[in-house]
Structure 1
């Protein structure tokens, strides 16, 4: 029997309560992402390490998140998205408290890597919202609106985190006390989830494909490990390409294993659906600019103009530039549901990806002045902000019941892989011609142009792929609803 639930007063009330609590979760996620960056120099001094060593913390967290997100997303589909969200939050809280009191390179590295569990929060939240929305005739559009609000929380938290950490450290002079604040925030949202978020309804009789996940973990570990090694040793190392090649080859047995399973770790049959594979691939292509290009943009803004390029901005100026970029992402996230209603979800995705491409393409002729760079980042930020929440929501809309978490998690995993590949490549191309610069630490203009061009081409490739999404996909439709199920 097909039933629909109208979007009435009661449904909006409960939905607002749910979104409000998840808003707090993503606000905390943003704090975690923005809080530590202004403190990097102080953390390096506290641990007694070199500046370059901090890169290993980011690399370790990237490696860990690429592995845990698919597994936790699948467990959410099996046992309930709220339950797994609680587990991920508890593990994140434990790691964040450990960070506050870590006193050596090794302990900080382990704690920072284990903090990666927060990366699965957004995919699980989108899956949870959409699974409850399946009982409504407006579940898809409601998920898009909710995802946009969650991205607003994420970027607002990133801005707040960057501001709060500097203020608190200046006031206290104590790094452990400063690092305790995000731990307190994560602990509080655990209880917000526990007492305020309803559970989704997993399908019974599911099994965890341990063999498939083991092979997938090995493949991801080899590929991302090779990319991390590339950043450390450069592309000339034989070990870099050996690890990457082995990782790519490991995906072949993974595919064969999964296609033979009734309940695979990643259902490749679902992933190759016309409404799914362009969305998953787009996440990887957008990850190039979203995760890979932020450090080059920051260093370009700080480069001394004596080199013939660069903006020469101090730390405060660079922070302002990044803050404006994050605000544009918030605006993009809020506009996406409106554009989807005016056009269609498919066209809204295409427009968002095109904005990212145009923004980075404009860097090629226009990068000499701060205003030019600001305009470019505003355009790219509008598209990026729209896509951060829209892609998981689109994947959820295209997934069958029981695979929503895996689908939303895959957008995160491919985005991480895209960012990893880009980060490794950008680290190499920025060294091209660097010996000719005036200041010894500056990268080359040729390298920066290559970075912007790669970001633009990746976004335009996503635009082309999104045209393969069926015109009628990702829209609201009546869905099957169990009679005894609660409604939102």
Structure 2
């Protein structure tokens, strides 16, 4: 009898954990309802865990099916890159806009609109029969990315009324990331099995996430209360137009950089132009009374390190997963790699997600007793150390798993901490857009890393036959960049004031005023 590999054991345990995560945390929420003054907030977290489970399913479900989608659409494997590029482009643009509209008119309203758009696009994905149609539907599905920032804003708003907005948001963020990553594992594990159970009927298989998103609409409609936006706000339409143009130019330039079939001059024209447009945006916003994004807030010592850390986190979380997969799949005969097949590579990624979940849980639990600033610094340091360990230790599977465990725990803590920290650092009426911008900067960081990593690794391909050190050097460069990003973030977070992200006296006064009005 052959004993299972460590990765299979870890992933199998992770899948069991993921499958029971929602039930376990539902029981936790029930206990909180009975024992805490945060009953309404805790109930809200319970609904949002379900929403994030579906968000995770959307992120994990399609990956095992890409080969079958390629055959179904009659396209080449390389065309799959356009799916990710299109969705990243749309999400980076619409997330700050929708979050700001949520701050102005109510976060629940925008959450419902984003869910309707996501559901419609997901149904479209299931029935799309051409590459162009599928690409448009896939891009529009990216509206789900705004769910988490809006959820964070809603939790913060409810907690603020009870003088615990910041601490409640921190705990909620950890639980929501657990739901997100658990959903990703569930989606990845379920997709292939459903495809086989339906007799390899791709359309029916792709209907499952569409059904899940449709159900989430009713969860939000009946289970989530609306926030209380500040009155007399106006929409800075020109600000959003300039921001959208700048983000479109920057993300398009970075996307083109990793597509060798396109002329390289496109990147070097679009990227400086995009940066110039963003500079214009900053100057324009400084002259507005009610700007689309209050850039003055991002000068604060408790905000700019958070947004910079989100960018640096995106480098490893969004940019380094593909290099990790190709590294462990490389035949050791070329001088490096582990020679894992597709199933084993999936197990490695699954193991990494388990450690991300663990990091989010640790953050949620310890945020009650440790200062948020300390948790952020520790998370960033773990991320940096985990990737730094790849430099000397990458020859065996146990070494890779240990490295991923350290980096994964740090990543999970940061994924949970950053949106909550941004919401806490923002003034009232800007919590949604502040937490949303952590996602935008993370996306830009991931897009930048994907482009750079693609160029770095491609530079060593031609040297494999004669000198494997060059190709291995490309992976060393990837790990060094990820490690440097994590450690740099840890240093920058020391500039955050020690008392940042705590429940404020203002929140306590607002809560007391609200209670007196009720009486």
TM-score tier after normalising by the smaller chain length: over 0.9
Q: Alpha-carbon deviation of 1:40?
A: 0.7
Aligned partner of 2:15 in structure 1 is none
2:492 aligned with 1:465: yes
Measured against aligned partners, the alpha-carbon deviations of 1:135-187 in whole angstroms (never above 9, x if no partner) come to 12322111111110000000000000001110011111100100000000000
Task: Tell me, in whole angstroms, the C-alpha distance in 1 between the residues paired with 2:210 and 2:344.
Answer: 29
- Residue 62 of structure 2 is aligned with which of 22, 25, 36? 36
1:389 matched to which residue of 2?
Answer: 416
Structure 2 portions without partners, runs of 5+: 1-31
Could you tell me how far apart the structure 2 residues matched to 1:428 and 1:297 are? 15
* Deviations 1:325-362, CA, capped at 9 Å, x for gaps: 11111110011134334431101100000000000000
Structural mapping, 1:80-479, within 5 Å: 80-172=106-198, 173-233=200-260, 237-438=264-465, 444-478=471-505, 479=507
Q: Is the 8 A contact 1:352 1:387 kept in 2?
A: yes
Between the aligned partners of 1:187 and 1:7, the Cα distance in structure 2 is 27
Deviations 1:269-306 (A, max 9, x none): 11111111100110001100010001111111111111
**Is the 8 Å Cα contact of residues 38 and 162 (structure 2) preserved in structure 1?**
no
1:9 offset after TM fit, Å?
4.2
Q: How many Å separate the matches in 2 of 1:244 and 1:302?
A: 33
Distance in 2 (CA, whole Å) between partners of 1:338 and 1:24 is 20
Contact map agreement 2:41 2:159 (CA 8 A) in 1: no
When structure 1 is superposed on structure 2, of 318-327 and 20-29 the one drifting more is 318-327
319-328 vs 111-120, which moves further: 319-328
CA distance in 2, matches of 1:169, 1:9: 44
RMSD of aligned Cα (Å): 1.9
Query: Is structure 2 residue 81 aligned with structure 1 residue 55?
Result: yes
Q: Give ranges in structure 1 of 5+ residues lacking alignment.
A: 1-5
The alpha carbon displacement at 1:93 in A equals 0.2
Give aligned pairs, total: 480
Equivalent pair of 1:332/1:384 in contact (CA under 8 Å) = yes
Q: Give the alignment partner of residue 98 of structure 2, picking from 53, 72, 75.
A: 72
Kindly state the Cα deviation for residue 7 of structure 1 after the two structures are TM-superposed: 9.6
Report if the CA contact (8 A) 1:274-1:469 is conserved: yes
Aligned to 1:481: 510
Contact kept in structure 1, 2:98 and 2:110, CA below 8 Å:
yes
Alignment of 1:15 with 2:46, yes or no, is: no
The Cα offsets for residues 7-26 of structure 1, whole Å up to 9 and x where unpaired, read as 98473432232111100000
Residue range with higher mean Cα deviation, 329-338 or 150-159: 329-338
The answer to whether the Cα contact below 8 Å between 1:89 and 1:186 also exists between their aligned partners in 2 is yes
Supply the distance in 2 between the matched residues of 1:325 and 1:277 (Cα, whole angstroms): 29
Cα shift at 1:444: 2.0
Name the CA distance, whole Å, in 1 between partners of 2:185 and 2:122. 19
TM-score, normalising length: structure 1? 0.95
Structure 2 equivalent of residue 3 of structure 1 = none
Distance in 1, Cα, partners of 2:190 & 2:292: 40
The 8 Å contact of residues 387 and 482 in structure 2, kept in 1 or not, is answered as yes
Q: Is the 8 A contact 1:300 1:310 kept in 2?
A: yes
* In structure 2, distance between residues paired with 1:305 and 1:342: 46
| Preserved CA contact (<8 Å) 1:235 1:428 | no
SS at match of 1:232: coil
Equivalent pair of 1:228/1:424 in contact (CA under 8 Å)? yes
Residue 236 of structure 1, CA deviation: 7.1
Distance (Å, rounded) in 2 between the aligned partners of 1:234 and 1:213: 32
Shift of 1:443: 9.4
SS of residue paired to 2:436 = helix
Task: Name the CA distance, whole Å, in 2 between partners of 1:8 and 1:263.
Answer: 41
Q: TM-score, normalised by structure 2?
A: 0.90
Looking at structure 2, the residues matched to 235 and 43 of structure 1 have their Cα atoms a distance apart, in angstroms, of 24
4+ runs of 1 displaced by more than 3 Å?
A: 6-13, 337-343, 482-487
- Distance in structure 1 (CA, Å) of the matches to 2:144 and 2:364: 25
The alpha carbon displacement at 1:234 in A equals 7.5
Aligned pair in 2 of structure 1 residues 380, 103: CA closer, same or farther (>3 Å)?
same
SS in 2 for 1:481: helix
**Structure 1 residue 375: deviation in Å?**
0.5
